[in-house]
Structure 1
Amino acid sequence: MLRTLKDLFDSIAAPQKDPGDREHSLQLATAVLLVEVMRADEGFGESEREAVLHALRQTFPLAEDEGERLVELAHEHARSSSDFHQFTSVLNERLETEEKIRIVEYMWRVAYADGHLGAHENHIMARIASLLHVTHGEYIAAKMKAKGEPLSPL
């Protein structure tokens, strides 16, 4: 298991040649951003962790144990990273706008999982959405969708 975690960890920093490596780095980058939202909340709990796992399983074809390992690795990587750029750049290179908006929506679902939105969570969400080149309107629409509020017509 440790070898698998190391391989996944190394895949984000290494040049991407193998399509499997590209998929792993995309999964890790997504997981780290979701975990960062979870970590922004003081004393995050099981509801946020479950929201992260759910988002990863909705986004990628992961077995149960793969999702758990990915979250563990994302925690490690998030603790040792000083910025979001290395992760958002992976998503910007490989995802279409609609997919990035869906990731932002999942991040909102993680933030709302405990029924409380903290100021630090809100700040991190705005920073990440900006780095993903998600417009303010798309950001708010993702927030409303995650919150379960109907979107108003334009």
Structure 2
Amino acid sequence: MAKSQQTYSKNEKEKQKQKKREEKQKKREARKAQSKESGGGIPFAYVDQYGNLTDTPPEPTEKEEIDASTIELGIPKKEESEEDQDPTRKGRVAFFDTSKGFGFIMDSDTDEKHFVHVSGLIDQINENDKVTFLLEKGLKGMNAVQVKLQE
């Protein structure tokens, strides 16, 4: 006599899958019945002039006409300012190690620290000296270059 290919655990798993399918079907039918009773459909949400969600449509008299040509898509063009025209910055040397050849300069306008290397120096600098410098993009951020003592 040939033995059945299905084991007890396979039969149990099949029964559980069938039971889940039946429960899912019952829930689906219950939702359909409930939506028909309540007059169903998706409720609408409107946005009023202040940006709040409401369930009532806005008044047509309160609508504001907007000219589509005045809407800017994307990032607005950067206007040139005095800061862009003169890239020279002023600051104070916060730390400088002459033996290792690097340090940091504190920008007086933005209070940001910028890395400075001995190769970017024009004049010899020490800690707490007031200096002028230019910024250049480095591997790990902005670096101070063309550093010279302030007159």
TM category, shorter: under 0.3
User: Which structure features the higher share of helix residues?
Assistant: 1
User: Which structure features the higher share of strand residues?
Assistant: 2
Structure 1-normalised TM-score?
A: 0.19
